[in-house]
Amino acid sequence: MPEQIHEILVIGLGAVGSICAFVGMSSLAKDWHAVFESKVCRSVADAADRAYTYVIVTTKAVPDVIRTSDILNPLLSAPYRDKHIQPTYVLIQNGLNVELDLYQALKSFAKEEPRIINTAVYISANLLDDNIVKDSDYGWLCLGVSRENCTVVENSPAEIDLLTPFAKLVEMGGGIPKIVPEIQRVKYAKNLWNVAYSSIATLVRYPLPSIYRAPPDVEKGQNYDVYEYTIPTIRAILEEVVAVARAMGIPDSQAGIPHSIIDFTMQDTLNNHVKETSTHRPSMLLDAEKGRPIEVEAIVGEVVRMARKGDVDVPRTEMLYALLLVVQNQTLRRLQDAA
């Protein structure tokens, strides 16, 4: 049997990228008909010396700093695009509409329909230091194809052919892939959590257990008004984000985004973070603490823009966006001054 060669390029080696690289190497090592070789490149340009089956993008989606298509430019421009068939791009990024600029860049020159797999990743991995990643045994990867019309809820034969081989690679590497019929709904449901909880954690500069743990002197009568003010505000934010989903045409059903997701999200977050063993920090909070750009546009800005397009009033979400823009502005100024 001829050797099967999968050339896979992983761009971005933060927490998620490191896990993806590990899964990819494990997958190829388990394939008896694969040629396994790995190397580290300093840039995408350095890696643009061969054709790839998959290019997995795990960098943060920060279009206000650099667009994904700009990161991938060495693969999208001559001489690479003249010598090689374009790979399947797998976007493992938080936020909404992260695939649009890459899709448009590919459409500008590619004769065939761009092959882009969009994902929603559910893992509890944090980059603790430059070379230390803390992971847990919790997680899976939802795979799908983004469509302009989010009311289409069935994968075509061509889409199934695109998704299935990559899902098999993930599974061989020890990951848990889930092919879904409409990825935008899954990403939106995950983004709902990030809009509320990641944003609040980033703005107050404390992880989520801080919301649920009472102050030390509460037994002596010290008031703790979080349950009167903070928790209801979180619920109101989630209500706004769900209202935007309705304006997009996503139904109130298990196949769409049910209204019950609000109660589930709040209770699940409480259950996970009221425990003293909870150490997870939302990635947006970690980025802010490390002085790195945050995913404000992809996570919160997109919801605000969708709301305005759908004529939905989202004052609390707009407030989060307005405040996070200040955080982002100061971070970018510090990075520019240090350059």
For the domain spanning 8-181, the CATH number is: 3.40.50.720
Could you give phi then psi for residue 127, rounded to 5 degrees?
-85, 105
C-alpha separations of 218 from 208, 221, 232, 332 in Å = 19, 5, 20, 39
Q: Which CATH number fits domain 184-338: 3.30.70.270, 1.10.1040.10, 2.40.30.10, 3.30.70.2740?
A: 1.10.1040.10
pLDDT at 297: 99
**Under DSSP, is residue 323 helix (H, G, I), strand (E, B) or coil?**
helix
- For 290-306, give one letter per residue: b (16+ CB within 10 A) or e: eebbbbbbbbbbbbbeb
- For 140-164, give one letter per residue: b (16+ CB within 10 A) or e: ebbbbbbbeebeeeebeeebeebbe
Euclidean distance between CA atoms 244 and 240, whole angstroms: 6
To the nearest 5 percent, what fractions of the chain are helix, strand and coil? Answer: 50, 10, 40
Domain spans of the chain, in order of start: 8-181, 184-338
Could you give phi then psi for residue 312, rounded to 5 degrees?
-110, 130
pLDDT at 339: 82
Euclidean distance between CA atoms 291 and 283, whole angstroms: 12
- Give, in degrees to the nearest 5, the angle at Cα 205 between 202 and 210: 105
Encode the chain (339 residues) as per-residue pLDDT tens digits. Answer: 445 667 889 998 655 544 444 444 444 443 433 444 567 888 999 999 999 999 999 999 999 999 999 999 999 999 999 999 999 999 999 999 999 999 999 999 988 899 999 999 887 655 555 655 555 554 679 999 988 777 888 999 999 999 999 999 888 877 889 999 999 999 999 999 999 999 999 999 999 999 988 777 666 666 778 889 999 999 999 999 999 999 999 999 999 999 999 999 999 999 999 887 888 889 999 999 999 999 999 999 999 999 999 999 999 999 999 999 999 999 999 999 998
CA neighbor of 61 nearest in space, from 124, 16, 126, 107: 16
pLDDT at 278: 85
Euclidean distance between CA atoms 68 and 121, whole angstroms: 18
Q: What global pTM score does this model have?
A: 0.87
pLDDT at 42: 87
User: 229 and 219 in contact (C-beta within 8 Å)?
Assistant: no
